[in-house]
Structure 1
């Protein structure tokens, strides 16, 4: 077993401030356009660039995304009676590659560009997830090996049917979740499977960058027997942070969040069963659990993988190109079938499709140029 990544996975916070009327009016106009076009539209203000979604949510009028770094900005309509008008959610890509310190600075700089002023006491942290990724190809997850409080909830998730070991009588578990948000939640899951299923190729770069820094060979994504990575994740919701630990602002978070993680790993343990001891509380921790606990004892704030922004863009761009090429090939084959093309003629048919596409563009060049600009705007963060 070997740690291939550790760090924050999600940070969510609310800010006691409202956007200006000028910014609201601009966002409102652009959101109407996004609703009409039924897709996100580019939005820039004060030197900050976003994609504005065509909908709001959870009481927020506007939701904006800041490119492949996985940051969401939610804004309410300005209202003096509702001063908590801003929510920011930072996802795993930014936190894993750049670290929490960078994320906090990025939030402050972006809000400054938007003309939003606030003091440190006007920040309220509502969620923080911390994770440790462990290379453990031989590990098998057994839900019954958790030792937890009798009132703690546990949800088990089985793998796909074709991975069942005995026709549904017993299965290979890929995820076990203990606890419930917005309190405390601890989850173990097969991160390799999620990366492949949900098409998140950036994680291979994160893991391999960390391995390279230790002088170790990279993982081969195609070989599960040597690249199976399990994630142990501790999720702290607002009830745990504010009610149990009195954590609301960054200074309190900096001082106590390490203790939040340590307590979670003590109250919820994954153990090695002892057949000679019926008292589960006396079972020893599984070596994975001890490895996670040891990895969480250092300064948590600056953990990162050192994957640079250019690499992040490259990975996202290459994934989009791969998906679009697969779609083009599929559409071309479908068209060939509709036109009764024979198998031996398929290559020649595909060549002819390129010519037909060129003719279509030449027939209406203005529309083609307009569509090109729209596509460039849509992918401007990774192009």
Structure 2
């Protein structure tokens, strides 16, 4: 077993600022265009590029995002009775590749550019997730091996019968969740299975970058027996941060987050069964849990994989190209089937489709040019 990644995975915060009038007017006008097309539209304000959603949510009128190396931004319409008008969510790719320090600077720089500078007392941290990824191909998750305080809830998730254990259980467990948000959650899950199921190939590159720093080869993603990675993730929600630990500002966060992690690994433990002792609390801590615990004892604030931005964007771009190519092929085959084309004539039918598409481009080049430009804007972040 070895750690292949550790770092912050998600960060939610609110900022005590409201939209300035010029930005409010601009977003209002652009959202009307988005609502008309029912698609996100590209927007630019003071040199900052975003995609603006055609809808709002959870009390926020404007939802914007700026790519895998950016954030999700939510803005309320100005209200003197509610000064907390901004919500920011930094996702896993940004935090894994760039680190918490860069994320903080990015938030401050973006708010400055939008005409909403803020000070340290105007930040409220609502959630912080920290993860440790461990290469452990032979590890098998057993929910009953957890030791925790009795009021803590646990949810188990297991794979289907296609991945059945040899001991005859109905499925191989792939995830156990202990606790509830907005308090504390501690989760262990099969990260390899998740990134394959959810099409997140960037994590292979993040792990490879971390292994390369130690002079090691990347994981063979095609072989589960050699590349099974388990993630142990601790989620600190709003009530845990604010009520239990009095964490509100960045200064509070820096001073106490290490202790929050230490407490989580103390209160929730995954144990190594002792066949001669029926008291689970006395069982020794399992090696995978001890390794994860050790990984959170050091300084946590500047962890990153040191992947550069062009590499991150290239991975996202190639995955999007792969998905779109598969969709194009699938649609073409479906169209051929609807037209009654037999298998032996499929290749000629594809040539005919390509020629028909060329004719459509030639028939209305301005329309095609506009669509090409619109698509380019939608995906300009990658």
Please, what TM-score do these two structures have when normalized by structure 2?
A: 0.98
Distance 2:99 2:119 in 1: 22
Q: Identify the residue that residue 9 of structure 1 maps to in structure 2.
A: 9
Would the aligned equivalents of 1:70 and 1:92 in 2 still touch at CA under 8 Å? no
Q: Identify the residue that residue 200 of structure 2 maps to in structure 1.
A: 200
Distance 2:341 2:308 in 1: 46
Q: Identify the residue that residue 136 of structure 2 maps to in structure 1.
A: 136
Equivalent positions of 1:30-179 (< 5 A) are: 30-69=30-69, 71-165=71-165, 169-179=169-179
Distance 1:280 1:222 in 2: 37
1:349 Cα deviation from its structure 2 partner:
2.2
Gaps of 5+ in 2: none
Equivalent positions of 1:1-383 (< 5 A) are: 1-69=1-69, 71-165=71-165, 169-382=169-382
Describe the superposition over 1:16-74 as per-residue Cα deviations: whole angstroms up to 9, x where unpaired: 11110111111111111111111111011111111111111111111100112251111
Q: Counterpart of 2:305 in 1: which secondary structure?
A: coil
Would the aligned equivalents of 1:73 and 1:86 in 2 still touch at CA under 8 Å? yes
1:351 Cα deviation from its structure 2 partner:
2.1
Q: Counterpart of 1:67 in 2: which secondary structure?
A: coil
Distance 1:328 1:357 in 2: 12
Distance 2:376 2:357 in 1: 19
1:364 Cα deviation from its structure 2 partner:
1.4
Would the aligned equivalents of 1:90 and 1:103 in 2 still touch at CA under 8 Å? yes
Aligned pair count? 382
Would the aligned equivalents of 2:131 and 2:234 in 1 still touch at CA under 8 Å? yes
Distance 1:204 1:53 in 2: 30
CA separation of 1:71 and 1:279: change in aligned 2, threshold 3 A: same
Describe the superposition over 1:137-176 as per-residue Cα deviations: whole angstroms up to 9, x where unpaired: 1110000000011000000111133223379853210000
Would the aligned equivalents of 2:30 and 2:41 in 1 still touch at CA under 8 Å? yes
Please, what TM-score do these two structures have when normalized by structure 1?
A: 0.97
1:279 Cα deviation from its structure 2 partner:
1.8
Gaps of 5+ in 1: none
CA separation of 1:70 and 1:224: change in aligned 2, threshold 3 A: farther
Deviates more, 1:92-101 or 1:43-52: 43-52
Describe the superposition over 1:265-284 as per-residue Cα deviations: whole angstroms up to 9, x where unpaired: 01000000112112221111
